[in-house]
């Protein structure tokens, strides 16, 4: 035979389980309503390349700074160290200029492509509106 406390405990467990199920369902509905397009895993493949370039540029800058510090701390004459620093700075400037030019060219290409897509989409929408107006 069941005692009354056993039944109460079972009912409490069932109520708790039902409440947790309802909370889970509410969370699921809220999660589904959210906009997940900005999340890194949901970005278009075109956007993924930008993160890699930024990482590469950061690594290049870090390597240049590390090389500069190594020159400063190395046992060489002051004039020789300054000459090496100037040479390294020129190389870094050229590489940085090239990287910035490449990024600018990529941005221009992407902007043109997006503008072209927008124009095509606008034409398609205008055609749809014209077709619907004729009917």
- The DSSP letter of residue 2 is -
Using an 8 Å Cβ cutoff, are 54 and 61 in contact? no
Split at pLDDT 50, 70, 90, the class of 36 is low
pLDDT-derived band at 65 (thresholds 50, 70, 90) equals confident
DSSP letter, residue 36: -
CB 48 within 8 A of CB 42: no
pLDDT tens readout for residues 91-117: 888 888 888 888 889 999 999 999 999
pLDDT of residue 29: 77
Residue ranges covered by each domain of the chain: 12-42+51-134
> What sign for the dihedral angle of Cα 28, 30, 36, 38?
negative
- Tokens read off for 32: 């589904």
């Amino acid at each position: 035979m069941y005692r009354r406390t056993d039944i109460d405990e079972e009912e409490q467990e069932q109520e708790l389980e039902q409440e947790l199920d309802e909370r889970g369902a509410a969370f699921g509905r809220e999660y589904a309503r959210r906009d997940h397009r900005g999340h890194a895993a949901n970005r278009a493949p075109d956007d993924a390349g930008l993160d890699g370039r930024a990482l590469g540029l950061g690594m290049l800058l870090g390597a240049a700074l590390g090389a500069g510090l190594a020159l400063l701390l190395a046992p060489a004459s002051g004039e020789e160290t300054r000459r090496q620093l100037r040479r390294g700075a020129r190389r870094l400037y050229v590489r940085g200029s090239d990287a910035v030019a490449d990024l600018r060219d990529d941005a221009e290409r992407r902007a043109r492509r997006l503008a072209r897509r927008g124009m095509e989409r606008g034409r398609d929408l205008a055609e749809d509106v014209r077709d619907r107006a004729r009917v």
